[in-house]
Amino acid sequence: DGSIEFSLAQLWLVVTFSVVFGRVALLWYRYSFAVSMHWYIKFITDPFTDIPAYWMSSYQIFNPNLLKGALHTSFPNTFSMPEGYVKP
């Protein structure tokens, strides 16, 4: 029937590239090539630098005491401080 099918992952990839390269092009147009390349490198390396920075939160979220403590910190009027909670 000639229809073209895309998976959700492929669409997200297109959107991601469009946003990153669109932002780099805008920075190049508004400021300079050097500024756009600085941000391009930042966009590309950001996932890799975030891994060491945030790896502990991936398993700490499953600790009910830490989760309740984080909720209390963000919403003190709604959630009570859990007993024995120590900030990580």
pLDDT at 47 over 90: no
The DSSP code for 79 is S
pLDDT, residue 59, reads 81
Distance (Å, whole) CA 43 – CA 35:
12
Task: State the CB neighbour count (10 A cutoff) for residue 56.
Answer: 10
DSSP secondary structure code for residue 31 in this structure: T
Prediction pTM value: 0.56
Q: Say how far apart CA 79 and CA 44 lie, in whole Å.
A: 38
Written as six digits, the tokens of 22 are 């669109």
Q: What is the pLDDT of residues 60-72, one digit of tens each?
A: 778 888 888 889 9
Q: Chain-centre distance of CA 45, in angstroms?
A: 12
Residue 62 pLDDT: 85
